[in-house]
Amino acid sequence: MRLARRVLARARRVRLLVMDVDGVLTDGRMILSERGDELKAFHTRDGVAVALAKRAGLRTAIVTGESSPIAKARGAKLGVDSVVLGARRKGETVEALMTEFGLAADAVAYLGDDLLDIPAMQRVGLALAVRDAAAAVVAVAHAVTRAAGGQGAVRECVELILKAQGSWQRTLRGYVSEHGGR
């Protein structure tokens, strides 16, 4: 991800990272079993990214247009602060999250990939898109990840934010130390 000065300035103010699910936390594919059960694959680096964000004091939220029990379960497993399912009007949902957490728009980052993410991205201080996002989404993003959706894009965004805030190294050391490192 290119780190232009304006992007770093925006990232320094972020206190809440909001993420879409399909196409961001996953690669966007929806796999159905022969019984009709939906399956999704999540990248472990993105899960670690949420843990790093929490360690650094960032709040996290998942916002998805789907009413997927998988997204709810993933959010619960990661300890995400808020999981909003069935959010068809994501801009309004992000505004509600700002109110819930008592944050101004410039303290919120949103990571998206598709058209329903655009209104949310237009309302936040740091709009981020995954590498394989729709062209219209890339057009409104302040930065685009090197990673595609479901391939560690969330991790890239958390690193960007924490590095801009000067807390990446301290957060990383604490996480590694707590999880078996020296």
- Residue 36: what pLDDT? 87
* % of residues, the chain, pLDDT over 90: 86
Higher pLDDT, 178 or 26: 26
The CATH architecture to which 5-178 belongs is: 3-Layer(aba) Sandwich (3.40)
Interval 67-100: pLDDT, tens: 989 999 999 999 999 999 999 999 999 999 999 9
- Residue 33: what pLDDT? 87
Residue 30 has pLDDT above 90, yes or no: no
Tokens, residue 159? 């690193």
Confidence of residue 3 (pLDDT cuts 50, 70, 90): low
Higher pLDDT, 59 or 66: 59
Interval 112-164: pLDDT, tens: 999 999 999 999 999 999 999 999 999 999 999 999 999 999 999 999 999 99
Mean pLDDT, all residues of the chain: 94
Domain residue limits, the chain:
5-178
Q: Which residue pairs, CB below 8 angstroms and at least 24 apart, start in 79-88?
A: 79/50, 79/51, 79/54, 80/50, 81/16, 87/63, 88/116
- Residue 171: what pLDDT? 97
- Residue 182: what pLDDT? 53
The kind and range of the H/E element at 112 are: strand 108-112
- Phi and psi at 96, nearest 5°, equal -65, -40
Nearest to 154 by CA among 57, 17, 12: 17
Residue 42 has pLDDT above 60, yes or no: yes
